[in-house]
Structure 1
Amino acid sequence: MTKICMAGVTGWTGRAIAAGILDADDLTLTGALARKTAGLDVGDALDRAPTGVAITADVGEALSGAEVLIDYTHPEAVKEHTRAAIHRGISVVIGTSGLTATDYAEIDKDAKAAGVGVLAAGNFSLTAALVQHFALIAARHIGHFEVIDYAKAAKPDAPSGTAREMAERLGDVRQPELGYPLDQIGGTPETRGGTVNGVQVHALRLPSYTASVEALFAVPGARMTLRHDAGETAAPYVEGTLAAARRVREVKGLVRGLDQLLFAD
């Protein structure tokens, strides 16, 4: 039985993940972290039967007794939560977006020193993981590629964790070819997007979108688009997140991407 602390337990995604933990036969919820609902029983907060687990705003209290921390909170909080868990010998599953490559390098260093595992993904849905996997294969063969990120108008970070992770990992496969040097572009060069690990990323923020990402590849005379679209519920993220929680203690240091877990064997 894996003991789980859920950070962001009453958030949009956190509620679905917490319900999945409560329904699982091999997982148990030992702690729950959220500021606005601190003091409530998790069951009451989720409109379920009482669980005996009280929500707290204190990360140390929430982590007590846990073996794995699952974090779906906020970019300003997730790094602190992750370090608090690592220093207690607790493995971490990060679903929160907004961390940079530098942040992840620091987390990897801390996790390796502590001998614990951290599994982070910009998106824990199966379809997003498959798009990531296929994109990395495509980048081995096609030199021209860019990423487009779509999300709701009120999303506070850009690009999304899904798009940032994709760009960082694509750039590690190869640096894409550019038709014209970015530093020589006239007009409004900012419209060419932002550069993440050498890859151009374009972030759109509009009503009616939830979360979508496209990896576009092109050769003379042909194009290929790999696209993931999320619906309006958090259900797609539950299975992947819980799979990560079940296996994160098998690794040491940082692993990025649910696809790394799916295709590890």
Structure 2
Amino acid sequence: MSQIIKVAVTGAGGRMGKEVVKMVLEDDTLQLVAAIDPSKSGQDAGTLAGAAPCGVSVTGDLELTLVESKPDVLVDFTTPHSVVANTQLAIKHKVRPVIGTTGFTPEQITELDELCKKQEIGGLIAPNFSIGGILMMKFAAQASKYFPDLEIIEYHGDQKLDAPSGTAVKTAEMISEVREEKRQGNPNEHETIEGSRGGYYNGFRIHSVRLPGVFAQQEVIFGGFGQTLKIRHDSYERAGYMPGVNLAVKKVMEYTGLIYGFEHFID
């Protein structure tokens, strides 16, 4: 790739943001031009990420930074409370958003897609950037054609803000594209403790586990006559997501409109 892609990272002081900063600094085809995190303003972005100083100071005002640094891409790993406004600001200034933060509604995704098309830029919202995680979702959707009875169990640390996870929701959506709605279980089932059967989605259940010491895992369990099938993916560290983020930053330059789901970037 001959063109250097200028990248801004918001949430640069967070655990995922630091990994993104390091990934960008290690790729000669990418250039870190801005790092945004109000709580870390003034610090060198490279030093903050545990790398060598890079000469890019962390700032606190996203819009002002976008105007001054003129990035091609904004990578966002912040919080569900701020990500929609961050994405809107990026699109307003014709900066392509690559979003790893979850919490968007379908209506918001549609609105952001329209804004991207109006600005003639690409964008990506990806609940999961892990190659293995994407394959897990694809395999689960394929298996649901033959095993329509299933449940999803996802595990994350106790500080995660949303439940179910964006990955679980995306998995459920991909399954529902190929599986007709089928209400599972005993029709006379009764929960003696409310919520014990998990969240209801298109006939099956999603369970969210939140515990300290857990990073990110998900399994989809299928049941059939005389057999079960389990498809599981485990993530052990944040660096494992970076090859996917790297690919997304480069591929988003080729699109117009907002893409929902990293699986669209994988053949």
Q: Deviations over 1:171-226 (max 9, x none)?
A: 23324422347796453452221134554211011222111111122222211111
Contact 1:168 1:197 survives alignment (8 Å): no
Partner residue of 1:240? 244
Letter in 2 for 1:261: F
Partner residue of 2:262? 258
The partner residue of 1:174 within 158, 171, 179 is: 179
Contact 1:144 1:176 survives alignment (8 Å): no
Contact 1:215 1:226 survives alignment (8 Å): yes
The partner residue of 1:121 within 122, 126, 139 is: 126
Partner residue of 2:75? 70
Contact 1:167 1:196 survives alignment (8 Å): yes
TM-score with structure 2 length normalisation? 0.90
Give the 3-state SS of the residue equivalent to 2:147 in structure 1: coil
Change in Cα spacing, 1:138 to 1:31, as seen in structure 2 (3 Å) is same
Contact 1:172 1:197 survives alignment (8 Å): no
Letter in 1 for 2:256: K
Deviation of residue 254 (structure 1)? 2.2
Map 1:1-265; keep pairs closer than 5 Å.
Answer: 1-63=4-66, 64-180=69-185, 185-188=190-193, 190-196=195-201, 199-231=204-236, 233-263=237-267
TM-score with structure 1 length normalisation? 0.91
| Residues in 1 aligned to 2:187 and 2:20: alpha-carbon distance in whole angstroms | 42
Contact 2:138 2:174 survives alignment (8 Å): no
| Residues in 1 aligned to 2:114 and 2:234: alpha-carbon distance in whole angstroms | 33
Deviation of residue 167 (structure 1)? 1.5
| Residues in 2 aligned to 1:126 and 1:199: alpha-carbon distance in whole angstroms | 25
Deviates more, 1:36-45 or 1:192-201: 192-201
| Residues in 1 aligned to 2:125 and 2:48: alpha-carbon distance in whole angstroms | 26
Change in Cα spacing, 1:35 to 1:182, as seen in structure 2 (3 Å) is farther
Change in Cα spacing, 1:197 to 1:19, as seen in structure 2 (3 Å) is farther
> What 5-or-longer segments of structure 2 have no aligned partner?
none
Deviation of residue 118 (structure 1)? 1.6
| Residues in 2 aligned to 1:216 and 1:34: alpha-carbon distance in whole angstroms | 39
Letter in 1 for 2:18: R
Change in Cα spacing, 1:136 to 1:65, as seen in structure 2 (3 Å) is same
Contact 1:33 1:57 survives alignment (8 Å): yes
Contact 1:75 1:99 survives alignment (8 Å): yes
Deviates more, 1:138-147 or 1:90-99: 138-147
Give the 3-state SS of the residue equivalent to 1:112 in structure 2: helix
Contact 1:151 1:210 survives alignment (8 Å): yes
Change in Cα spacing, 1:176 to 1:38, as seen in structure 2 (3 Å) is same
> What 5-or-longer segments of structure 1 have no aligned partner?
none
Deviation of residue 144 (structure 1)? 1.4
Contact 1:121 1:165 survives alignment (8 Å): no
Deviation of residue 256 (structure 1)? 2.4
| Residues in 2 aligned to 1:257 and 1:198: alpha-carbon distance in whole angstroms | 23
| Residues in 2 aligned to 1:181 and 1:91: alpha-carbon distance in whole angstroms | 47
| Residues in 1 aligned to 2:233 and 2:15: alpha-carbon distance in whole angstroms | 19
